[in-house]
Structure 1
Amino acid sequence: MAADFELTFLGTGTSVGVPVIGCKCRVCTSEDPRNKRTRSSVHVRAGDVSVLVDSGPDLREQALREGLTKVDAVVYTHAHVDHVVGFDELRAFCWHREDPLPLHATADCMDTLKTMFGWAFSPENIFRGYIKPDPHIIAGPMIFGDLTVTPLPVEHAKAETVGFLFEMPGAPATAYIPDAKLVPESTIAILQRADILIIDALRSIPHPTHLSTEEALAIIAETGVSRGWLTHLGHENDHYELEAMLPQGVGVAYDGLKIRG
């Protein structure tokens, strides 16, 4: 029997989303709904446990679209604006909680959160309508019910960045790396446990801080996963055309896509 596991792509776009403001290219003006990409994020449900990855600027829209009403913890990949600036939307997941909301991040990312949203972390934050964070520095695997979440260190610009491997008995081990330029051998070794790899593939042309399509496909092949998904896609990518050129077993993620165990 399959495990009660579900990963939802809340967003699959790059930092500016697709369509890009002011752009009239054929992808930005496409009528294919799969070419409408909000900023990258996923939500994982493992039984009764609800884990959100990042709190980007489109979190409100994404949560309403997917009917997301409960979050038990947030895990952050890194401190770039397109992954943290929707922080205030987390209020909606605190209104019906008695306990603070656990936030898990690297030391670098947590410092940024405390700087950007100092009011939330202040001892004077006592008003019930505000987000009440319970900060945790990521130091190794995290356990949420039957779900184990292992950090996957990667290199991405100057920000301390991690992806995550989600493991639950009976479900496909699913890795999520939305922002990376280099995946170290130590992380590749952890990825040998994965069945599914979701990975940054910004565009076909090389980029200084993101994986290209070719680079992402090479990592998928190196890990030997049975299924790969490309995410964090810029407006250089038309969904249909990109999907048509990919090898068997690799797909193009889109907003709302669900992986079930």
Structure 2
Amino acid sequence: MDTLVFLGTGDAMGVPRVYCSCETCTEAREHGSNTRLRSSVLIDNGSDFLVIDCGPDWRRQMEAQGVRNMRRLLVTHAHFDHIGGLPEWADACRWTGIKGELYTPAEVIPIIERQYPWLRNHIEMIPCDEGIELDGWKIDTWKVNHGKNGYSYAFRLEKEDYKWVYCPDSISLGAEETRLMHGADLLVLGTSFYYEAAELSTRSVYDMTEAAELLQIVKPKKAVYTHMSHDVDLRKAYILPENVTLAQSGTRIPLYKNPFSSL
């Protein structure tokens, strides 16, 4: 049985933010329930694993899981909070003698190579635009609107009769962009704020009020929000759809249908 493990659930800056003394950041420093490393997940099949995104907290995330090597990675897009850990992974590959496998859409590869031109010495970069299969998961990817930050990609993974979607960075998605989300058993969606008052043209990720509207359209059986800024305080009781939960580092979700559950 496969399990989804949340390695990090924070936005690009993480929580706490160095400069900030808001209630959320203060609680994160003192108690830690709001501590959020940059967003990443691990798919554990019991004998091997895949990781999606490799931000600057990658080393800390691997240490927290007791993982000493990583062989395969999916990347949603080439922003720093999703690829900032690649040099450390490449160095790990060099010392362990493992040739890493990085899967991402073809147009993302040259962006990564410009930032880290030495990575190919230790990591093979493999385009996945036409879909791939890893550990029995049939994986499709497509471009999604990332607002003022351009674009990102989402992944849809399907094995046997279970299908789920990972989409950490998107906003204002149209019908074609949400086509592969419809009816998913699980949707993992980025929501940086509960409600973001800034003008839409200046924004890049859904807030939770907008996400609720999206869920009414695509109707996943369960949704988990990630990529949360310090605006989100896990101690608060937010008004959310009944099938929604907020992820924390270490949250584990079984990736198979539970015959005894309605979700």
TM, length-normalised to structure 2? 0.86
Q: Provide the secondary structure at the position in 1 that maps to 2:37.
A: coil
Determine the structure 2 residue equivalent to 1:36.
35
Q: How many residue pairs get matched?
A: 246
Q: Which residue of 2 aligns with 1:6?
A: 3
Q: In the TM superposition, what whole-angstrom CA distance separates every residue of 1:226-258 from its partner, at most 9, and x where no partner exists?
A: 1111111011111131x5421211011111111
- Seen in structure 2, the aligned counterparts of structure 1 residues 96 and 72 have a Cα distance that, compared at 3 Å, is same
Matched residue, 2:185: 195
For residues 179 and 207 of structure 2, the distance between their equivalents in structure 1, rounded to whole angstroms, comes to: 21
Specify the alignment match of 1:128 in structure 2. Answer: none
Aligned to 2:128: 138
Measure the CA separation in 2 of the matches of 1:142 and 1:97: 24
- After superposition, residues 211-250 of structure 1 pair within 5 angstroms as 211-241=206-236, 243-250=237-244
Q: 2:248 aligns with which of 244, 248, 254?
A: 254
1:20 CA drift (Å): 0.6
**What is the deviation of 1:174?**
2.0
> Does the CA-based 8 Å contact 2:104-2:129 persist in structure 1?
no
Q: Which runs of 5+ in 1 are unaligned?
A: 126-131
Shift of 1:32: 4.9
Does the 8 Å CA contact 1:153/1:183 hold for their aligned counterparts?
no
Closer, same or farther: CA 36–210 of 1 in aligned 2, 3 Å: same
1:138 aligned partner, one-letter code: C
Identity of aligned residues (%): 26
Specify the SS of the correspondent of 1:35: coil
Does residue 1:18 correspond to 2:15, yes or no? yes
Change (3 A) 1:152 1:220: farther
Q: Report the alpha carbon displacement of residue 188 of structure 1 after superposing the two structures with TM.
A: 1.8
How far is 1:67 from its partner? 1.7
Give the RMSD, CA atoms, in angstroms.
1.9
**Distance in 2 between residues matched to 1:224 and 1:179, nearest whole Å:** 19
Within 2, Cα distance between the matches of 1:221 and 1:96? 47
Residues 1:223 and 1:67: Cα distance change in structure 2 (over 3 Å): same
- Bigger shift: 61-70 or 16-25? 61-70
1:183 maps to 173
Partner Cα distance (2:183, 2:241) in 1: 21
The residue number in structure 1 matching 2:54 is 55
Hey, what's the Cα distance between the residues in 1 that align with 2:244 and 2:185? Answer: 12
Q: In 1, distance between residues paired with 2:108 and 2:33? A: 30
**Which segments of 5 or more consecutive residues in structure 2 lack a partner in the other structure?**
256-263
